[in-house]
Structure 1
Amino acid sequence: MSAATPSPSFAEPGRAEAVAPPEAAGTRADRFLADAIGSLSRSRVKALIEAGHASRDGAPLTDPSEAVRPGSLYVLAIPPAAPATPQAQPIPLSVVFEDADLIVVDKPAGLVVHPAPGNPDGTLVNALLAHAGEDLPGIGGEKRPGIVHRLDKDTSGLMVAAKTERAHRALSEAFANRDLDRAYLALAWGLPAPLAGEVSAPIGRHPGDRKRMAVVERGGKPATTRYAVERAWGGAVALVRCRLLTGRTHQIRVHLAHIGHPLVGDPVYLRRTPAAARLLPPAPRDALLAFPRQALHAATLGFRHPVTGESLAFESPPPADFAALVALLDGNGQ
């Protein structure tokens, strides 16, 4: 038995205990207990210790950094998850996959992911709280889903959320390490050249508008987007598949605008009527210029299940409004 994998005993619900082996000597108490339990993050264990929920050999343990004493019995009381601050709301969800550890949904455009100033409710988190109900074990001491990545309000497509702390930790690591497959479909003005390539340009806050992102050579964070044109309508519009090698805010929108091909309908990065619009017949041109959101869709999502290790892969076709633009461009729309 190693210090990294002690064997805890769950004597009763909400209680975990472990005897420290010799090789655990000197390890931080919070790290030792987190490794022993396996389903709680170290930060969560640290908070519980500081709140008086831990003991060593029957004596209170309040210092998370205390060095482990071999042979000592460490006990952590895990209180029931408190009700989440966001409230459950019965908002319809398109569930693609769900098990005890995670849920994959196809988010519609217009749905905000997480409550924030300006959007205190009516979000994906509120919907997930209502959907999961009592089956949500909780993360960080609250009954809430673990959001490991986000889509902009008006971007549609696939998202995964964790239902347990263990899944949240593993999925967060996968996203941080880019150990997953994500592809987006975008309708962009003009025809990128070359038809497939890579945009590598740092992204940061726009120096003149803090609500926008921009390519910022000094102070920006490294960002790389790979793209490939799947279809094109002359030099007017292209259907582009994008893959992210990094995960910056608005990355695809910023990078395609940076190379001169902003997304159709983008309210932030499409600053004027593009010259390429003149290449279209009136009906599709007017429809694309009037499109009320960025034409961006998270079409594929693949990752390893954080508990079973199984490879999971999901696909989502573009939603009706996006598909209607493609039909108009093909001459098949109304």
Structure 2
Amino acid sequence: MDKAEFIVQPGQEGRLDAYLSGCQGEMSRSFIQKLIKNQMVFVNGKWEKGSYKVCAGDMIQMAIPEAQEPEIQAEPMDLDIIYEDSYILLVNKPKGMVVHPAAGHYSGTLVNGLMEHCKDSLSGINGIMRPGIVHRIDMDTTGVLIVCKNDLSHNSIAEQLKEHSITRKYYAIVHGVIKEDEGTVDAPIGRHPIDRKKMSVNYKNGKEAITHYKVLRRFEKFTFIECQLETGRTHQIRVHMASIHHPLLGDSIYGPSRCPYSYLQGQTLHAGVLGIIHPASGQYMEFTAPLPEYFQELLEKLK
């Protein structure tokens, strides 16, 4: 059983369950309410209901039960495999697919399909919930993702990611017309100070994040761009482009709440190119995934 303590700061007053939900970004509000109901949360040494109004200076203590990881099942799946050998596998991830199991997504993820396809040939460094996974892309982002089939390749790719030596090019459609032909966003990214489920440009507590972008085509109200990552922070392109007032089309988290194309499922973002040094041969290899059909059709409409 883990324990956490919080002291309410001025400006953070409000419901107890809402306050804790903001502090614990990885926990759902319903889970926090369950902890409160089970008397695992105390305010100034006393149990209070979730509706209790916390005040500046209140000391909150919370007991957090150890997470019990569910057994993940292998599932037959039609994977779009770009390349595979005994060390690595490159897959073209479709829109709407979650990469690895997490709360609310214990089946139908890429990992479920990989476990069926690769059997026991997946790296185990990231634990039973993320076998073979060394990096990830968002559920509604499509494109190239590398999977490691043993710990040697996992360590090699992880080191390349750490050194920013991997080539990663993404394609996106953003709101507004970008005037310059290319540019760079160099701004640290960290948890949003208020909404802990979001990321934001955070100069105080963020980590280095650098995105280079290049205009591929301009439309009346949108711009088609290529983004090349130097770093790989969570939601990096989405946060960076929103920070310069060009959020991704379809991104309801960092862009307008209403999308002009209601049929879009999340942000228009595609991981088109991934280049690595092969863990065994030492040779540079580059893999590509074509723009998905929905993306190509949207570009045609924008013309």
Q: TM exceeds 0.5?
A: yes
Structure 1 spans left out of the alignment, 5+ residues: 1-83, 275-285
Alignment of structure 1 residues 1-334 onto 2, 5 Å: 85-134=71-120, 136=121, 138-140=123-125, 145-234=131-220, 236-272=221-257, 286-287=260-261, 290-330=263-303
What amino acid does structure 2 have at the position aligned with 1:298?
A: A
Work out the CA distance in 2 between the residues paired with 1:179 and 1:292. 31
**Per residue, is there more helix in 1 or in 2?**
1
State the alpha-carbon separation in 1 of the partners of residues 142 and 153 from structure 2: 23
| Cα deviation 1:270-298 (Å, max 9, x = unaligned) | 13459xxxxxxxxxxx43x5422100000
Normalised by the size of structure 2, how large is the TM-score? 0.73
SS in 1 for 2:214: strand
SS of residue in 2 equivalent to 1:210: coil
Q: Distance in 2 between matches of 1:266 and 1:169?
A: 33
User: Structure 2: which 5+ runs fail to align?
Assistant: 1-69
Pick closer, same or farther for the CA change 1:116–1:144 going to 2, 3 Å.
Answer: closer
Identify which of structures 1 and 2 has the higher relative contact order when contacts are C-alpha pairs closer than 8 Å and 6+ apart: 2
Letter in 1 for 2:291: P
Contact 2:123–2:148 (CA under 8 A) maintained in structure 1: no
Does the CA contact (< 8 Å) of 1:144 and 1:163 recur in 2? no
Structure 2 distance, partners of 1:115, 1:208, is 26
- Percent identity at matched positions? 42
Q: TM-score, normalised by structure 1?
A: 0.66
Greater than 6 Å deviation, 4+ residue runs: 141-144
Deviation readout 1:221-272 (Å, 9 max, x if unpaired):
11110000011113x1111100111111100000000000000000201134
Equivalent-residue separation in structure 2 for 1:131 and 1:247 (angstroms):
27
* SS, match of residue 273 in structure 2: strand
Pairwise CA distance, 1:104: 0.2
How many correspondences in the alignment? 233
The verdict on how the C-alpha distance between 1:247 and 1:142 changes in structure 2, with shifts beyond 3 A counting, is closer
Give 3-state SS (helix, strand or coil) of 1:255's partner: helix
Please say if residues 122 and 132 of structure 2, whose CA atoms lie closer than 8 Å, have aligned partners that are also in contact.
no
Task: Say if 1:191 and 1:86 are closer, same or farther in 2 by CA, change over 3 A.
Answer: same
Q: Displacement, 1:131?
A: 0.8
Please provide the CA RMSD for this pair. Answer: 2.0
Deviation per CA, 1:125-159, whole angstroms, max 9, x where unpaired?
A: 1110011125x165359797421110000000000
Is the partner of 1:117 in helix, strand or coil?
coil
